[in-house]
Structure 1
């Protein structure tokens, strides 16, 4: 009995494992695709505008308004940024196991708005009570940091879910939509960079030249706009099917695997050299009480194989934390006049990172990928791991470049007798810092975007928010490690009356030595990454190296 052509066409138009806002099977032509993804990208652009508006100039606020030292301010910024980038692991778990991505985004957005509102209130009260001889009170500091960490909590739910939800709008089983999903990660990052550029140029200028309260209030308004845009698009989205079978939930399935692994740990450690193979046989045969399917085993083995990649990528991202802290503090000391009568805040140079992304993404999509596809004969041009590795090489090179530029800055300060005059502008143009900022943008296009696509793609479908949280957490933990490095180096070089590499007088500091240290650590992480990735097995045959 043949199926009517109308029913065949209807079945072909349905998207596997997705539903519409009413819970019905999602139609390919009526939901998802670039139409829905564009709305979600718009939401993230507004969120990035809000986040960057408070993050990029935070070290200036801490040192000038709250009276903190350079080292303490850098550690506080790194700790907060690290928390904001690590909490997505929890947010992703809540989304994938309980609330779903859509509802998690709604709740997180409301917390975001609350945090930004309280942050604005904190700035208003601090400005009202500030004077030349008086620092903000203890309660003002408490309100400020509570507000700041509310934003971090909100981002923990918002960040992994929005990007995963955007990628969900493309069907990985459909050839054209799968290619479009790969492009989605690139264009996602390009659009975010546009929002970041505007935020840096507008919000930083307002913070530096008008007042901090307005500089924090504008990001709050943008977050309200983000929530409104996201809610209005609800009827066009594709929603992943919720797994009603609790015994077949992604967390439960993989949990069974690790339970069996724990019960067989003695046999594995004492009798078997091929432990993963033994574990697979034990699970499939039902040994250890709980039998597991072949898919359960493969998913669990895949997650285990991601851990070394995650660790090495995290180590290589430590230098990334410096561009919003130490790069900015260096910029304060040099000539920032870019046109006659126009002096820009040092944090405004962060916009060069986003400008670099705006330039690099089209070149990557329309020049690099076509050439790579002709050479490798692969739809994606290069593998995701090759893309991440390229980002690592660029990171190492950037730290070398940053060290050389800082050494030149110190040499000019010495030549002009400004070593002990930290408040005097060094006759060196801030344009010397342009190459290292531009390289950061290229690093993001290769390393960060590559890692986001890799960790989204290489986990089970039900756990893709968790996959993106893996990527974000590596960046977050790298911020913590950066703060730890600074603390250790500050202690080691400043003890016994020595001059710390992070001396408050940057003309007597040696940040260039710190950059050389980061270049060396990144090189070590890269060689470890290459060794590990050579044995990595992709989930699909079309992704192999």
Structure 2
């Protein structure tokens, strides 16, 4: 079970003035201990949330309408276009694993965000150039059946520039924002729990404008004008982000987090024949006098006890310091517990992937469904197909706001838990919505296929599946962000956000694989579920398959969440004394 309040031991006697400083291993922009009143919390995180807004505006403005661009401008068939979109989205959300690792180990989060933002804006600029320079345009006329190959090449180069930019931007920006709150300070810790909710509120605002205003400009004004708007917006928010430099709290990179983990595994294997000690107190840990410089310590847990052997001091080993404290033979208890954290996360990550598969449908097949339906709101106004995505964003905004402002205060009183409910319970609750969303999608698609004139059906028949999925996002996506940030070792928090993003990325890859596998199997049966267009396809059957997969996966997830052991931090208890 998750501790109501993480166990506390060890006291630091300090002067009253020390309450004004932040002792959580962070530094200010000059490398000093940060002053609490002038750094961090909301005044710093608002600068960070601003650039996230513009990044999500750009990403969703491109991603949700990309399948329309590939089919209408590049003239790819729906199956090829869906696979290209899924592959691009998958690579884009896998790349943060590299960016997060480099930031945690070497560059620091602030520097990585700045560098990757410049790469991102280069991609946006290239997209804009490809729409305005005559020799790079798809073709000279407004409509052509064979667009220039050079345009297609430049398009994909630009898209993968954005992929590389996202690889450094996404894992570091969110974790950098969360770093602005001190985990050892009660009020800041509570604000941090709200931070993830309001981060997603800003994300949804960017998404909402991206799939309405930007998509409308793309479809009814010009793709080039839309790309120009995104480029200018990103440039402004990069400058805004840099202006907050003096307000931020920074984490100094500590080198590769993989080496300490490897040391634990090697040391445990070397001492595999030793019996586990009778008490965790006998395991090696850094001296108490070194706690401040070493950061937060982790308390012992009873899972994966084989790894505890890495922290056993061998009495028969040479008494020389180099031999006795060789990091490849003896590691600290905190290092052992950090490895346990990562190993415990793997099953949770695996059972989150089917949710990522469902998310992939919202920007591919859902959008193509919308394109075959009646898009008229009035006689004179027609919405772009991708704008129906905005219903999911609105649902997520409502979900996050209600959860943070209404449910959490009620649940805190009812359960005594600072978060209201455990993180994994929140994620699991959202997964129920994914089953409902895929079921609703199947029913609507079945009705569309049976309609005499599918184009007469209002696009708002798709509202239930988008709204249900958006409500689920407010629980599962936000919960996954908090889980992968909070439960990884402190030195791996950018990688933690990258693990969360990889759920979406791998989900997109799995979606592409499923399309190919199902197409191969059903084609042998006489009729593929994925025809040349939606009217000759059977997407309803595909959605039922996804609903069944998510329902079965939810059962496994429930078993894992029930017995999960959460991160157990040794908090510093500050005892204030007068001078």
TM-score w.r.t. structure 2 length? 0.85
- Establish whether residue 351 from structure 1 lines up as the match of residue 390 from structure 2: yes
**Paired position in structure 2 for 1:421:** none
Separation (CA, whole Å) in 2 of partners of 1:327 and 1:278 = 48
**Paired position in structure 1 for 2:88:** 80
Alignment of 1:300-319 (within 5 A): 300-319=339-358
**Paired position in structure 1 for 2:308:** 280
Query: Match of 2:34, SS?
Result: strand
Instruction: Structure 2 unaligned segments of length 5 or more: list them.
Output: 1-13, 276-301, 318-326, 571-579
- Establish whether residue 166 from structure 1 lines up as the match of residue 198 from structure 2: no
Alignment of 1:398-437 (within 5 A): 398-412=437-451, 416=452, 418=453, 426-437=455-466
Query: Match of 1:432, SS?
Result: helix
**Paired position in structure 2 for 1:154:** 165
**Paired position in structure 1 for 2:196:** 185
TM-aligned CA deviation for residue 265 of structure 1: 7.8
Question: Which region of structure 1 is more displaced relative to structure 2, 114-123 or 52-61?
Answer: 114-123
Question: Which region of structure 1 is more displaced relative to structure 2, 216-225 or 166-175?
Answer: 216-225
Indicate which of 536, 541, 566 corresponds to 1:538: 566
TM-aligned CA deviation for residue 132 of structure 1: 4.3
Query: Match of 1:321, SS?
Result: helix
* Cα pair 1:316 1:526 within 8 Å, conserved: no
**Paired position in structure 2 for 1:490:** 519
Separation (CA, whole Å) in 1 of partners of 2:86 and 2:459 = 24
**Paired position in structure 2 for 1:60:** 68
Report Cα offsets for 1:114-151 as digits up to 9, x if no partner. Answer: 11111222234234445645422333222211111110
- Establish whether residue 33 from structure 1 lines up as the match of residue 44 from structure 2: no
Separation (CA, whole Å) in 2 of partners of 1:263 and 1:138 = 58
Q: 1:447 to 1:21 in 2, by over 3 A?
A: same
Question: Which region of structure 1 is more displaced relative to structure 2, 440-449 or 510-519?
Answer: 440-449
The structure showing larger relative contact order (alpha-carbon pairs under 8 Å, at least 6 residues apart) is 2
Alignment of 1:240-251 (within 5 A): 240-243=251-254, 250-251=257-258
Report Cα offsets for 1:404-444 as digits up to 9, x if no partner. Answer: 111111111xxx2x5xxxxxx52211111111111122111
TM-aligned CA deviation for residue 93 of structure 1: 0.3
Separation (CA, whole Å) in 2 of partners of 1:107 and 1:266 = 48
**Paired position in structure 1 for 2:484:** 455
Separation (CA, whole Å) in 2 of partners of 1:335 and 1:254 = 56
Query: Match of 1:135, SS?
Result: coil
TM-aligned CA deviation for residue 377 of structure 1: 2.3
- Establish whether residue 9 from structure 1 lines up as the match of residue 16 from structure 2: yes
**Paired position in structure 2 for 1:140:** 151
TM-aligned CA deviation for residue 264 of structure 1: 6.4
Indicate which of 199, 218, 222 corresponds to 2:229: 218
Separation (CA, whole Å) in 2 of partners of 1:62 and 1:505 = 14
Q: 1:34 to 1:315 in 2, by over 3 A?
A: same
**Paired position in structure 2 for 1:381:** 420
Query: Match of 1:150, SS?
Result: helix
* Cα pair 2:54 2:206 within 8 Å, conserved: yes
Q: 1:377 to 1:279 in 2, by over 3 A?
A: closer
Q: 1:11 to 1:241 in 2, by over 3 A?
A: farther
**Paired position in structure 1 for 2:475:** 446
**Paired position in structure 1 for 2:112:** 104
Report Cα offsets for 1:158-188 as digits up to 9, x if no partner. Answer: 0010000000010011111111001000011
* Cα pair 1:264 1:279 within 8 Å, conserved: no
Alignment of 1:508-523 (within 5 A): 508-523=536-551
Size of the aligned set, in residue pairs, is 516
TM-aligned CA deviation for residue 489 of structure 1: 1.3
- Establish whether residue 529 from structure 1 lines up as the match of residue 537 from structure 2: no
TM-score w.r.t. structure 1 length? 0.90
Separation (CA, whole Å) in 2 of partners of 1:284 and 1:88 = 36
Separation (CA, whole Å) in 2 of partners of 1:283 and 1:190 = 43
Question: Which region of structure 1 is more displaced relative to structure 2, 73-82 or 354-363?
Answer: 354-363
Instruction: Structure 1 unaligned segments of length 5 or more: list them.
Output: 1-6, 269-273, 419-424
Q: 1:298 to 1:64 in 2, by over 3 A?
A: same
Once superposed, what is the RMSD of the aligned Cα atoms?
2.1
Alignment of 1:231-310 (within 5 A): 231-243=242-254, 250-261=257-268, 276-285=304-313, 289-310=328-349
TM-aligned CA deviation for residue 242 of structure 1: 4.1
Separation (CA, whole Å) in 2 of partners of 1:367 and 1:207 = 38
Indicate which of 90, 96, 121 corresponds to 2:98: 90
User: Segments of 4+ in structure 1 off by > 6 A?
Assistant: 264-268
